[in-house]
Structures are given as structure tokens and as C-alpha cells.
Structure 1
């Protein structure tokens, strides 16, 4: 009887020991086989805003004095196809041109007469019928009339060029931003008439840190969002300052976009607020993890390492799309792996 009991005990031991051994192996393996996720650095989202300005501005200034006969375009109106913005009374310059024309005709007739006289005296000198001094005098008079005619022709060019200055022009299609003169007003030479702007293409000035500039350079394509219109339009970098501003320590960058956009019914204009969103490359010391990777209890949060070790972290917030939690901690680093769905605290 005792032999039978002893044999049964040995059988139970032989059966249970392998089961306990297998269980001891399988439990750690189940912990190790937990699905893992990798910590991703959290980069701050930055929204920069600026207001639209014309791509280029210019001030039209009168080079001559006189009464303003006409100003073609008013504030907000475009320069017409002929480019004429204003005209200044050309009466006196036209009179000077007429006087120059008369003087040229007079000189040409005198020159023709002197050339006939020179030809006659040359013939007489060859026959020894006149002294050399007389021929030299006639030759000098002829040369002086040639010089006078050249001066009058040059004066005519100057007067006609000055006449052009009585018509003030600007680039076709540019809009009048400011007007400084009225029709009938006497204009002094050097006085500004109007300030014009090229609103066919618009500039959006921004002030960026170096990391924001790097993010902007890597953002292709660049989109500008107009809150007043609720629409986005494409843009490109127009120019970038080579140095930062001494007071703000930021770099001036201009974005440029077309005023006419296919997705907009109305044309963009100056003074509209535009926004561009960037992901700054600055190290924030925070990381993105799925919500399921966090264990939260009593306003404290933990992540669980692959070996089951708990890592206490600070919950900073959530991503804009609410797909991830933003955490920080002294033990965290980019690329580190943690359990995706750890067991809850007991």
C-alpha cells in the first residue's frame, strides 16, 4: 500500500515539475512579446502672420515746373495702357522748340550763302584775283555757321527731351496708392505727383528665427492662409535677408504670391492678413506617443519599457489631431522604444 502511494507521488512530481518549468518560461516571454512603439520628437507648430504689400512701389516725381493740365488716374485706379499718369502744361517749351526751328532755318540760309561766297573766292584766288586774307575770312564765316547749326540741332534735341518730361508716366497696370497733386495746380520741379504700387504680385513680410527659416525652406510647396477669405493660396520665397535684424535677432523673409488666384472669386489686395504654418526644428525636449502607451493614475503618468520597467513622465498635452500624447521626462530620448499597450497598474 505504501509502495503504491509513493509511486503516485513520484508520478505527480514528474507531471507538475515540467508544467511549472514551462509556465516560468512562458510568462516572461509574454511580457517581452508586448507590441512596442518608438518615441518621436515633438516639434513645435508655429503660425506666422503678415500683411500683404505690393511687390514694388515707386514715386512719380515731376522733372519740370508748370501747371498740371491733367491727372489720369485717381487713388486705387490703374495706370492705363499708354502709361500716362499726368501732363504738365508744355506751352513754353513748345514756343522754345518753334524758336529753335526758326533759328535753324535762318542759319541754314546764311550757311548756304556763305558756301556760295566761299566757292566764288576760291575761284578768284586760283586766278590770283583776290587776296588770301579775304578767302580766309569767308572760310571762317562758313565754319562758324556750321558750328551754329550744330548747336541749334543739339538744342532741339534737348528741348524735345524736356518736352517728354512734361508727360509723367508709370508702369502699365500699377495702382495709385497716394496722389500728391491736383489738376490745375502749379507743380514745382522735383515735387512728387503720386505713389504707385505693383499689386499684380503681393509680398508678405515675415520675421523668422534661423530654425524657422530652415523649416520654411524645407516646406514645399508653401501655402498662405487668408483668414478673412478662409482660403489657401500658393506662395514662394521672394527674398531673404543675409543677416538678422539687430533689435529682434530675426531674419527678414518676403513671401510672394499672385493677386489673381483660380480658387478665389476676387483678387487679393494689399493690407490682407496672411498666415503660414511651420513645424519648427527646435528641440523641445518632448516626445509624441500613442495615448495607449500611457499609464495614468492619481494625476501621474508612466511609460513602460520593453523589460517592464516603468518610466515616470510628465504629460504636456496632446497633438493638434489628438492622435498622440505629448510627454517629457529626463529618461526619455528620441528613438527609445516603449510598450504600446502596457498592463494597467493594479
Structure 2
């Protein structure tokens, strides 16, 4: 009989909540317990629609993981980042495979692979798929329309980098403190304002305040909620909905003064459509037929999910961004389309 004892891991110590008064975005909180019935999903679909059209960011609670389970995931997430030396990380830099168990991993991480795999599957089947069904309902489409376009066994990558680890769409990322010189160069912006490439992004909330979204009133901070997920929309969903649901512009900035001595550990599940999906509007949606469709290009010229992912990835950091006619915006061309970066 297999052992039920979990392997021990070092305890990841999170930062205390900031005591600074920040201008937070007022985001909706989606309670996933309501998704268990058709009636509850109908109610949630309205809440999700309003959240998507207001900010494109919202919280998810009651997602199926308890607070101790979530803390355990952050403990494990820190293992390959803090418990593996740079030399060993480089050995695994080329590990790319769609399933976590099909490649080798650093020695320190190996005892935890079954838990990471279970966590990945939980994100996909118990959180992502129900959310995609709710988005489909907001478009007045059959529930499975979008979830069928985001299969678990589609093309996925797994690889290690010095401060970032990827497994089957799951990314573990650790942001460390920076020098005053670097802060001055970037004006305290760690990651410029941008839209994600995929459809939905699931970010497990952590206490270091650094994430901001661009609202009609300017940049607003994202508040940490214990054991909650932060969900945002990306390019692919904007393509598929003909601009009805916008990808949300967000950035990462220097944390408040009372949190600057702490690393910021992120656990993220990125959702992208299957590689062969053509990113054209779902014209069969009665909602899109009523509100109208804004195409970024002709359907015949639209990229597939793979083409868009590859174009965005290859372009990142590879050249000079050109200044836009719009203030504080820079541009680059990906697959013949303009991608904006917000300073």
C-alpha cells in the first residue's frame, strides 16, 4: 500500500501584508461553489461578464484548495528556486515536454512531482474549465465551446530557468530585490504594462504588493486576498471575442517600502488555446452579433494560437520598441499586428 506521508519541504516564509495605504482596484469576487449547479452557473455568468467588461481582472474563492494546501504549494514552489543551485538549474534548462513526469527534474524537486502534477490538473480541470464555461455562457454559446478549445493534452512546455520554472502551463517565478540604480533606470517598473498572450491567467494570490492594472482612472494596485486566485484576460480571448472582452493591461512595480526586503514568489497557471486554433471571432455568438465585432485583421490573416504565442515570445526583449503616437506607449510588430507596451 502506498505511503500517505508527504515528503518534507522547507517552509516558505511569506512577507507580512503591507501597512501602506494603496489605491486598490475594486475587483469582483467569484465564488466557485455556485458553479456546481446550472442555476448557480447562470448567476455566476452574469458576475463574470460584468467583471470581464469592467476590469478583465477578478478574484476566485472556494476554488477547491484549502489554505494549508495552498501554503504547501508555495513551500514546494520555492524548492526549485531557492533549493537548487544555478549550476544544476542550467542542466535542466532544456527540459521541454508536455507532461511533467516525462522529463527529469532537479534532485530536490523530485519527491514533490506527484503533488505538482495534481496541482496542475486541479488548476486546469477544477478552476480553468469551469471559468471557460462561464465565459462561454456570457457569450450565449454552449458551455463547452471554449473549454473544448483549451484541452489539457494540447501542446505544452516544461523547462527550467534560473529564477523561473515552468510545468505544463504552470509557472513559478521569484522576483528578487533590485539595486537603486536599476530602480532609477526603470522608474520603479519591474515589468512594463502589457497584455498576456493566452486566454485566461490564474495567479495564486501572495502578499507582496507589486501587481497593478490599468483602469480608466489610471494604475491601480491589486490587493492580496488570502487563499484566493486572481484571474485576468489575455490576447487570445480578445481575438476570439472580436474585442468584446479585452485583454487586461497590467504591470509589476517596486513593492511598498515595508515589503522591499522580501522576494515575491508567484505561482501562475497560463491558459492558451490549442496550438492549431485559429484566433478568429466566435461569430456564432448571439452576443457578438448584437454588439458588433472588432477584427484586428482579416480572418484569413489571423494567427493560430501557436503562431501568436511564438511571435510574442520571440519578440520579447529582442529589439527596440518604437514610440507610439499615444503618450507613454511603445509598440512592436508581432505576426503583422501591433502589440503595445505601457510605460
TM-score (ref. length: structure 1): 0.20
| Higher strand fraction (1 or 2) | 1
Where relative contact order (Cα < 8 A, 6+ residues apart) is larger, the structure is 1
| Bigger Rg, structure 1 or 2 | 1
